[in-house]
A and B are shown apart, each in its own frame.
Chain A
Amino acid sequence: MLTIVQDHWSFLLWGQFPDGPIGGLALTIVIAVMSLAITFPFAVCIALARTSGLPMLHWLSTGYVYVVRGLPILTFLLWLYFLLPLLLPFSITPFWTLLAAIVIYQSAYLSEVIRAGIEGLPPGQTEAARSLGMSWFIVTRKVVLPQALYDVLPGILNQFTIIIKESSLGSVIALNELTFQAAQVDSFLVTKSLSIYCLIALVYFMICFSLSYLVKNLENRIANKRGATLTGPDNFGFA
């Protein structure tokens, strides 16, 4: 395993980067960060639509979430891979195909996470803000979203690890991210399959596990902070 790392570390880490397209682990991270950044605003909009109480918006967004959650991401990715070249007047790279698939797919999942945060707020928050004469928009922007997004920060980070894992599907459409590069090294070395696949499993594990660890700590901190402020008065006599 060590000799593989010595011989192919730059290939696995950033592909042929200075001389060619960026790849490997660097590309995996780029995909994950970009996907989350693009997904986030969509997910917030869908979550707001689902909690808005307007029937039309509610049904549209609920339908979207159900349809997306009903299909495997690989099926969806392959379909986009075939379909996008037909629909678009310009040629599209596997990078953008994967990004589109993850954004469409994760905006449904992330919206569920954010919706849980919005619905988890005590109704008194919105009622108090409305009674001060704030419009729906101001209430959402100044009262609901700051609290809800803070509460679900662990959930959002958790989706980030899921996105990192999903980006491995890029190898199916020949996008040179970490898993694809590993398969390349494997077919090049022929006999070292076990070491190479254990190596990338270890890389994914270290990234995702440290993120999950962070999520757990964050969860505890937020629970402590919110628990003190939100349920404080109720706990008198028990604490």
Chain B
Amino acid sequence: MGSQFDFSAVVSGDYGKLFVIGVQYTFVLFGLSWVVSMSVGTILAVLSLSRTKVLRWLVAVFVAYHRNVPLLVQLMLWYFAIPRTLPTSVTSVINSWRPEVAYAVIALSLCCGAYIAEDIRSGLRAIPRTQFEASRSIGFSRFQSMRWVILPQAFRLSLPSLINDTLDLFKSTSIAAVIGVGELTYQMRLIENETFRIYEVFIVVSAIYFSVTIPFMILAAAASRHAALYRK
């Protein structure tokens, strides 16, 4: 570190472009995984209320696996191991796109989906059974009462933990760097390796992460204050 701070060296020209690519990948990973994990989480949470014991047990196993194995190991399993068991017709489709991004999205959204399922399930459990009975008695089908009466309330109750898990998902996208997805942390390592400007690179990367995570944290704090008021 003989020289002084020089941000222009890392944010202009080719390195600047790498940062832009990194941000794009991070947001693609985050956006896709978030949509998939919310759907997976909601479906799993509803299934965990099912009357079929096997179904409940399967959901429990799914959630337990994803909560108790490191995300890095899950990611490696998806990227290094599972493609070898898939038929070539499937893998060639995935490989024609960007396999590392595809597997990262799968791993991230299944893992985060398990957490979201737990959030929504605890919200569902807080809804009194009478809500369901009342909506059934005014003529809603089981699906309709879930869709229009129970789930909206459950989402509202679990909002603080949903925001927190969304934040965790955003941060977890960095782990995809390990399997070579060119997201922000990956580009950070790349640019650092070429310029040796540790401080500048880290400050730029942190600023980008903070610009997303700090608003989320403030939102989560506000939501949990609101939920605490709502419960009283």
Specify whether A and B are partners: yes
Binding site for B on A (CB under 8 A): 66-67, 69-75, 78-79, 82-83, 86, 161, 164-166, 168-169, 171-172, 179, 183, 186, 191, 193-194, 196-198, 200-201, 204-205, 208-209, 212
The 16 listed contacts between A and B (C-beta, < 8 Å) are A67-B210, A71-B206, A71-B209, A78-B185, A79-B198, A82-B198, A165-B69, A168-B73, A171-B72, A193-B84, A194-B77, A194-B84, A201-B69, A204-B68, A204-B69, A208-B68
The 3 A-B pairs at the shortest CB distance, nearest first, are namely A72-B174, A208-B68, A168-B70
In angstroms, how far is the closest chain B Cβ from the Cβ of A32? 12
Q: How large is the interface on B (under 10, 10 to 19, 20 to 34, 35 or more residues)?
A: 35 or more
Kindly report which residue of chain A lies nearest to residue B74, judged by CB atoms.
A201
Kindly report which residue of chain B lies nearest to residue A210, judged by CB atoms.
B68
Q: How far is the CA of A165 from the CA of B214 in the complex (A)?
A: 24
Q: Which residues of A contact B185 (CB under 8 A)?
A: 72, 74-75, 78
Tell yes or no: B227 within 8 A of A by CB: no
Q: Which residues of B contact A196 (CB under 8 A)?
A: 81
- Say whether, besides A197-B73, A197-B76, A197-B77, A69 and B213 are in contact (CB < 8 Å): yes
Complex contact A209–B64 (CB within 8 A):
yes
Choice from B68, B72, B210, B213 contacting A161 with Cβ under 8 Å: B68
In angstroms, how far is the closest chain B Cβ from the Cβ of A209? 5
Complex contact B81–A198 (CB within 8 A):
yes
Choice from A66, A70, A71, A83 contacting B198 with Cβ under 8 Å: A83
Complex contact B80–A78 (CB within 8 A):
no
Q: Which residues of B contact A73 (CB under 8 A)?
A: 171
CB under 8 Å from chain A, chain B span 138-177 = 167, 171-175, 177
User: What are the interface flags for B93-126 relative to A under an 8 Å C-beta threshold, 1 for contact and 0 otherwise?
Assistant: 0000000000000000000000000000000000
Q: How far is the CA of A98 from the CA of B82 in the complex (A)?
A: 29
Kindly report which residue of chain A lies nearest to residue B185, judged by CB atoms.
A75
Q: Which residues of B contact A79 (CB under 8 A)?
A: 188, 198, 202
Complex contact B171–A72 (CB within 8 A):
yes
Q: Which residues of A contact B20 (CB under 8 A)?
A: none
Q: Which residues of A contact B64 (CB under 8 A)?
A: 205, 209, 212
- Say whether, besides A72-B172, A197-B81, A179 and B72 are in contact (CB < 8 Å): yes
Contacts beyond the supplied A86-B1, A204-B68: 8 A-B pairs with Cβ under 8 Å: A66-B217, A69-B167, A69-B217, A161-B68, A179-B73, A197-B73, A205-B65, A212-B68
Choice from A72, A169, A198 contacting B77 with Cβ under 8 Å: A198
Complex contact B73–A78 (CB within 8 A):
no
Q: How far is the CA of A70 from the CA of B172 in the complex (A)?
A: 11
